[in-house]
Amino acid sequence: MRLIFMGTPAFAVPSLQAVLEAGHTVAAVFTQPDRPRGRGLTMTASPVKEFSYTHMIPVYQPETFKGGVQNGLLQSLTPECIVVVAYGRLLPKSVLDIPPLGCINVHASLLPQYRGAAPIQWAVARGETETGVTTMYMAPEMDAGDMIYRESTPIGEQDTAGDLHDRLMHMGARLLVRTLADIEAGIAPRIPQDHASVTLAPPLKREDARIDWMAPARAVCALVRGMCPWPGSYIESPGHMLKVFGAIPAGQASGGNPGQVIRTGPDGIEVLCGDGQTVLLTEVQGKGGRRMAAGEYVRGHAVGERL
């Protein structure tokens, strides 16, 4: 098929590579404009743009699709189908109507669960035991279109959002190839979503990553895994800021108040949670410092009696 591919982050690159290897023609790639990144705020191309340049695919980086400003360009590229993977923009109906075989999206959840911008992080942070990828026909509303295929994977007790991201991006690429083959053959299903079962995965705010010691220990560990590697869960108190990248359930405490440091040692920092259970912080980063094992951190920093 002749495709337009729309995507931006590393998550989308395996999907783009997979459609090329499957023999589809990618007439053009649309990706987000270059953004300033890093301490020097250097203008940086998206991973999808970098991949596209190495494969000699034309790249477009519009700021908006509103008002039909890109419709003439899209029509001139004569796509049979538009594929969208983590592009980062909603497409208006005028764009969705352009390709005769529709616009197809790869979403990193088992829809209708976790519609939105951060499905991987929220699935882990909320303690889900299963997630997956869904291919669907796009609709003007975010992640609301009819489903085509879903594939699931368990979320292990030690899986971080980063672990899951890497697994799902390859699952999504494989499912996309299957989806396009069946669309081309005219046998792809259309399965309406159960809108009564929708859950949301909104963009992450800084406050979402803050550890609440009143929460149960397992919930604290899930939050830490869901916010790792980005944005990183954190503890903030007067004069103290600590990011946390690793935490495991540790045991039962005999007493104390949530947030109390039970002990520190070579294996980390043990802290009391709201259910009377403790967690062991295993990897942390102090303000202006580097990520390190928590046992290494306590050798050079005063932790205090309460976090």
pLDDT in tens, 132-153: 999 999 999 999 999 999 999 9
- Mean pLDDT, residues 2-17 taken together: 98
Average pLDDT over residues 32-49: 90
In this prediction, residue 41 carries a pLDDT of: 83
Burial of 18-31, coded b for 16+ CB within 10 Å and e otherwise, reads bbbeeebebbbbbb
pLDDT recorded at residue 255: 85
Q: What mean pLDDT value characterizes the chain? A: 96
225-234 confidence digits (pLDDT tens): 999 999 999 9
pLDDT confidence bin for 75, thresholds 50/70/90: very high
At residue 16, the pLDDT reads 98
Residue 206 DSSP class: G
Identify the CATH number of the domain defined by range 206-300: 3.10.25.10
What is the percent of the chain with per-residue pLDDT over 70, rounded to a whole number? 100
Regarding the domain delimited by 2-197, which CATH topology (the fold level of the hierarchy) does it fall under?
Answer: Rossmann fold (3.40.50)
- DSSP per-residue string spanning 258-271: TTBEEEEETTEEEE
Q: What is the pLDDT of residue 77?
A: 98
Instruction: Give me the pLDDT at residue 138, please.
Output: 98
Q: Is the pLDDT of residue 260 over 90?
A: yes
pLDDT-wise least confident of 35-39, 58-62, 133-137, 186-190: 35-39
Amino acid at the residue 118: A
The alpha helices in 119-236, defined as continuous H runs, are 119-125, 161-185, 217-226
Has residue 207 got a pLDDT over 90? yes
Is residue 303 predicted with pLDDT exceeding 90?
A: no
pLDDT at 240 over 80: no
- Residue 305 pLDDT grade (very low, low, confident, very high; cuts 50, 70, 90): confident
Q: Where are the domains of the chain?
A: 2-197, 206-300
Residue 66, pLDDT > 80, answer: yes
Structure tokens belonging to residue 106? 């790869």
pLDDT value of position 302: 84
293, 268 Cβ separation under 8 angstroms: yes
Residue-level pLDDT at 254 = 85
Q: How far is CA 126 from CA 114, 223, 283, in A?
A: 11, 7, 20
- Note the pLDDT tens digit of each residue in 99-120: 999 999 999 999 999 999 999 9
Neighbours of 183 (CB within 10 A): 19
Q: What pLDDT is stored for residue 230 in this prediction?
A: 94
As a whole number of angstroms, the distance between CA 77 and CA 24 comes to 14
Q: Report in angstroms the alpha-carbon separations of 12 from 59, 94, 150, 177, 287.
A: 15, 24, 17, 13, 32
Note the pLDDT of residue 179: 98
Is the pLDDT at 38 greater than 80? The verdict is: no
Mean pLDDT of 179-192: 98
pLDDT mean over 182-208: 97
Residues ≥6 apart with Cβ < 8 Å to 2: 24, 25, 27, 78, 79, 80, 81
